[in-house]
Every structure is written in C-alpha cells, then in structure tokens.
Amino acid sequence: MESGAVVERFGDAFDQCDLETVMSLVTDDIVFESTSPSPDGGRFEGADAVRAEWAKLFENTVDPHFETEELVVAGDRAVVRWRYSWRIDSGDRGHVRGVDVLRLRDGRIAEKLSYVKG
C-alpha cells in the first residue's frame, strides 16, 4: 500500500477509535511519542505499549474526533496536521490542533511523534 494511503487509512481508523485497524497499520516495534505530559510527552516503544496507550485515549475520551487538515508525504516520511476534538461536560466540544511526524517502513507506520499547539 502506498505511504499516503497507509497514513490516510490510519487517520480514518484513529477517528473511528478502531484500535484493531490502527494497530494493523503499525510495525511491531512502533515508537509513539505523545503530546503529554509537558514539556516532552511520553515515549512508548513496541506495539503492546502503544496499544495500551491508545486504548486509554479511546476509552477515556467522550465522543473523540480526529480530523486530518493536511497530509504531506515525502519518501518514508509523512507530516500530518490535525485537529482532535472531544465532548466536554457542558456538551460543547473541546479541541487541540497539532502535527504528527511519521516514519514509515515496509508499508506500515514505524514512528509517530506528536506535537500540539499551546
């Protein structure tokens, strides 16, 4: 599968909180750096650790929505500018905007480094 298609499918699965599809698109030795805690975020290595972290995100967020605003692919690298929103207690939606820097290997995502504005 082409790199751009892998990243698009990953984003769609992430938006749907489809953990099985998300994990099918990453390598066994995936590295994920999250946006929190400040200032550097957490680092998770390996599919089991990353799965556990993303499962917590999906389980602990009310009505999450991940939207890709822009995708740039160059060889084995991709940059995704995104908006992530969720429902808050008042019923309104909260959100953050950020960027993921991805590295792909053998048709899968091998590294996902996430950064957020503010």
Domains, the chain, in order of start with CATH, read 3-116 (3.10.450.50)
Extract the tokens encoding 45: 């290595």
HEC letters along 49-94: HHHHHHHHHHHCCCCCEEEEEEEEEECCEEEEEEEEEEECCCCCEE
Tell me the pLDDT tens digit for each residue of 74-92. 999 999 999 999 988 778 8
pLDDT tops 90 at residue 61: no
Binned at pLDDT 50, 70 and 90, residue 95 comes out as very high
Whether the CB-CB separation of 106 and 30 falls below 8 Å is answered with no
Q: Which of 101, 102, 62 has its CA nearest to residue 85?
A: 62
